[in-house]
Amino acid sequence: MGERKVLNKYYPPDFDPSKLPKGKRGKHNEMKVRMMLPMSVRCKTCGNFMYKGTKFNTLKEDVAGEDYLGIQVFRFYYRCTKCAAEFTMKTDPKTADYVMEHGASRNYEPWREADAAKADAAIQKEEEERGNAMKALENRTLESKREMDLMDTLDEMRSLRARHAGVTPEQALAALAREEFMAQKRSILAQRLDSDEEEEGGGAAGAAGPSGAGLQQQQQQQQQEPAARPQAARAAAAARPGPLVKVVVKPKRKAGADDGAAKRQKQQQEEAEGDEDSGAGGLAGLLGDYGSGSGSGSGGGSP
């Protein structure tokens, strides 16, 4: 049995490749090629959209009389997948792209306009610098300044990232809560300022010229003010903080030292009481002696 997948073929000894029949090509070197759509297109006959990457069996041919710097331009023939209408496109070596010829239209691609604008700006810049050295120097200065600004911005972003690298989620949440609290506080202060301004505006309008009911309301307020003043004073006194009290904490003494001091104090009191008793006794003795002396003297003088 022969080999199913033949890799080597038999060539007879008298084989001459120049005698092989050659395939015939058309006038413009046509050949069938299987390729994919290089862009998304829309058929002009039926309106069907064919997207980039769709595979087709196409016919390729050389475009007679068209080239770019010696590079040959090719044309491709496609057929719509829905209505089988023919549409063609050809290569564009100048922009390394394809150009639609007829039968279909290319879908809008926004990045193509940006690329075209950049290319036009570069060409215009080269034309300006071609015969003007000062313009070229100015453009180089601006370019170097822009690069320096970009480097500074990059360094700042790196330092900021390094600073935030050590921040924990808890710290980030605390910072967000603090920012929210400060925003609420600012809004409350703004509301208070607005209310104060409205009250001042109302007072100025009342002082300009109250009339009728306004006068009566003013008189009622003046009558109610004396009764409300004591209550306001009491409320202010209650809200006012009290005087500061200084607290002195004495160091604790040891138990043995306290007992010795108590004993010494008791002894001093006993000695003081004894001195008082002795002094009273001496005084009584002196008084007794004086009385006895006076008695004897009076007795001796009597008959």
pLDDT digits (tens, 9 = 90+) for 281-291: 554 454 455 44
In terms of Cα–Cα distance, which of 113, 112, 116, 74 is closest to 93? 74
Cα(66)–Cα(234) distance, rounded to whole angstroms? 104
- Choose the weakest-confidence range: 81-90, 94-103, 179-188, 287-296: 287-296
Residue 93's pLDDT is what?
92
- Left, alpha or beta for 227 (phi > 0: left; psi -120 to 50: alpha)? alpha
45-52's contacts with Cβ under 8 Å and 24+ in sequence apart are: 45/80, 45/83, 45/85, 45/103, 46/80, 46/82, 46/83, 46/85, 48/80, 48/81, 48/82, 48/83, 49/107, 50/80, 50/81, 50/104
Mean pLDDT of the chain: 77
- Choose the weakest-confidence range: 74-83, 89-98, 150-159, 293-302: 293-302
- Choose the weakest-confidence range: 51-60, 100-109, 123-132, 240-249: 240-249
Question: In residues, how long is the chain?
Answer: 303
269, pLDDT greater than 60: yes
19 touches 85 (CB < 8 A): no
- Amino acid, single-letter form, for residue 235: A
Residue 89's pLDDT is what?
93
199, pLDDT greater than 90: no
129, pLDDT greater than 90: no
Residue 245's pLDDT is what?
46
52 touches 37 (CB < 8 A): yes
56 touches 79 (CB < 8 A): yes
* Positions at the binding site for Zn(2+): 43, 46, 80, 83
Residue 224's pLDDT is what?
63
56 touches 37 (CB < 8 A): yes
- Choose the weakest-confidence range: 51-60, 127-136, 168-177, 286-295: 286-295
* Positions at the binding site: 43, 46, 80, 83
The domain segmentation of the chain, as residue ranges, is 26-108, 110-165, 168-196
Instruction: Please report which confidence band the pLDDT of residue 236 belongs to, taking 50, 70 and 90 as the band edges.
Output: low
Residue matched to tokens 């297109």: 41
- The mean per-residue pLDDT over the stretch 204-218 comes to 56
- The mean per-residue pLDDT over the stretch 78-99 comes to 92
Cα(179)–Cα(102) distance, rounded to whole angstroms? 62
261, pLDDT greater than 70: no
Residue 296's pLDDT is what?
43
